[in-house]
Amino acid sequence: MRYGKLDALVNNAGVASISLLDELRVDDWEEMIDVNLKGVLYGIAAALPVFRKQGFGHFVNTASTAGLITKPTMSVYSGTKFAVRAISEGLRQEAGDKLRVTIISPGFVQADIAKSVTNPEVKAQIADTMDKMAISPDAIARAIAFAIEQPADVDVGEIVIRPTAQG
């Protein structure tokens, strides 16, 4: 650590290889579990000892609005994002009064996540929807900054941020 401390860890990796379960894209399922779920766990494993030792720290874990409700083609992706929410809540309860945990649940964001979709029809549908209503990544960054800049005794548990046009 160049500056001698770690103030916050933002777990923000994700892939959305969404498809119907009938398509049995098991490799896609494995990738989503490895990146979306294990990535968060490995981030926690890296930062938690540092946070404990220094007596403060803030985890910001990116879930998704898909972690609040699931839709056809999104079962596994939603499952990973529901799991991120559950792990984050468990971490919050275990953290004590010195560590903070925030879940960021974005809706449609202008991002490259559609590139990881292997079903061509679903990929085209997502790309079209993003073109019509996705919000800027800057909106997510501002939400994260809001949570982090709160006083040490304030823990922002979750921020759901989505386009006004998203149902």
Domain containing residue 122: CATH number:
3.40.50.720
Structure tokens of 116?
A: 């990881």
Average pLDDT of the residues of the chain: 91
C-beta contacts of 141-145 below 8 A and 24+ residues apart: 143/104, 144/10, 144/60, 144/102, 144/104
pLDDT at 1 exceeding the cut of 60 = no
58 in any annotated domain: yes
Total domains in the fold of the chain: 1
- Asked whether residue 23 is domain-assigned, the answer is yes
Q: Give me the pLDDT at residue 73, please.
A: 87
Q: Please check whether residue 65 lies inside any domain of the structure.
A: yes
Catalytic entry in 29, 77, 82, 108:
77
The model's pLDDT over 61-71, given as tens digits with 9 standing for 90+, comes to 999 999 999 98
Is 3 a residue of the active site? Answer: no
pLDDT (tens digit, 9 = 90+) per residue, 24-52?
A: 999 999 999 999 999 999 999 999 999 99
pTM of the model: 0.89
| Cα(63)–Cα(48) distance, integer angstroms | 19
> CB-based contacts of 68: which residues, under 8 Å, 6+ apart?
85, 105, 160
Confidence of residue 88 (pLDDT cuts 50, 70, 90): very high
Answer yes or no: is 143 within a domain.
Answer: yes
Structural domain includes residue 1: no
Is residue 148 included in any domain, yes or no? yes
Share of the chain above pLDDT 90, in %: 71
* Structural domain span for residue 127: 8-161
Average pLDDT over residues 85-102: 96
Residue 142 in any domain: the answer is yes
* Residue 167 belongs to a domain: no
pLDDT: which is higher, 133 or 33: 33
- d(Cα 48, Cα 98) in Å, to the nearest integer? 12
Position 2 scores a pLDDT of 67
What pLDDT is attached to residue 48? 97
Q: What is the mean pLDDT of residues 5-10?
A: 95
pLDDT band at 93 (very low <50, low <70, confident <90, very high): very high
Q: Which two tokens stand for residue 80?
A: 């990973």
